[in-house]
């Protein structure tokens, strides 16, 4: 999967936090601690999840679904698969950040077994907009898919 395709989908999904660049994704793809999980329809990238696994902790760095492919279970499948991969690699917990005003994402992550573990005030910055808080979520991984 190319960094350009990932950056393009990320741009279509996010404004706050700001979307990541092709160079950002190239760096993640080159990092042996990162795992990319994708869903494609032919040549079309529909969704992806990017995790970083370090020792016994995993972090969901980003999860993006093409706006035209939403509500089809891609995010749930990607997150479930990523948590299984992380657990198999030795992770016992997984963390993520989500914008405090992103109620659909918060509901989704809670439904997937994550619970709030912290708050980062003013974490997300976008040009011309006030900073947004991030909620830190955590899930214990037990190997179930």
The Cα–Cα gap between 94 and 57 comes to 6
Domain ranges in the chain?
3-140
**Confidence label for 18 from pLDDT (cuts 50, 70 and 90):** confident
- Is 57 designated active site? no
Question: For a pLDDT cut of 70, what percent of the chain falls above it?
Answer: 97
Q: What confidence score (pLDDT) does residue 66 get?
A: 87
- Is pLDDT of 84 > 80? yes
- Is 22 designated active site? no
The structure tokens listed for 91 are 């992770």
Check: CATH 3.40.630.30 for 3-140?
yes
Q: What confidence score (pLDDT) does residue 127 get?
A: 80
Closest to 96 in 3D by CA, of 143, 45, 141, 66: 141
Q: Which of 22, 57, 95, 109 is catalytic?
A: 109
pLDDT of 23-59, one tens digit each? Answer: 999 999 999 999 999 998 888 888 999 999 999 999 9
Q: What confidence score (pLDDT) does residue 143 get?
A: 59
The Cα–Cα gap between 84 and 70 comes to 22
Query: Up-side HSE of residue 102: CA atoms within 13 Å toward CB?
Result: 19
Q: Which of 95, 97, 123, 124 is catalytic?
A: 97
The Cα–Cα gap between 21 and 36 comes to 16
């Amino acid at each position: 999967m190319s960094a350009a395709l990932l950056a393009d989908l990320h741009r279509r999904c996010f404004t706050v936090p700001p979307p990541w660049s092709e160079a950002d994704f190239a760096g993640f793809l080159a990092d042996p601690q990162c795992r990319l999980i994708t869903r494609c329809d032919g040549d079309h990238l529909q969704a992806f999840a990017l995790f970083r696994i370090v020792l016994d902790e995993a972090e969901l760095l980003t999860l993006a679904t093409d706006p035209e492919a939403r509500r089809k279970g891609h995010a749930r499948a990607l997150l479930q698969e990523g948590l299984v991969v992380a657990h198999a690699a030795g992770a016992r917990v997984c963390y993520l950040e989500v914008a405090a005003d992103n109620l659909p994402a918060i509901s989704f992550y809670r439904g997937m077994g994550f619970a709030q573990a912290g708050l980062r005030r003013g974490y997300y910055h976008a040009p011309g907009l006030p900073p947004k808080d991030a909620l830190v979520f955590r899930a214990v991984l037990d190997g179930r898919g």
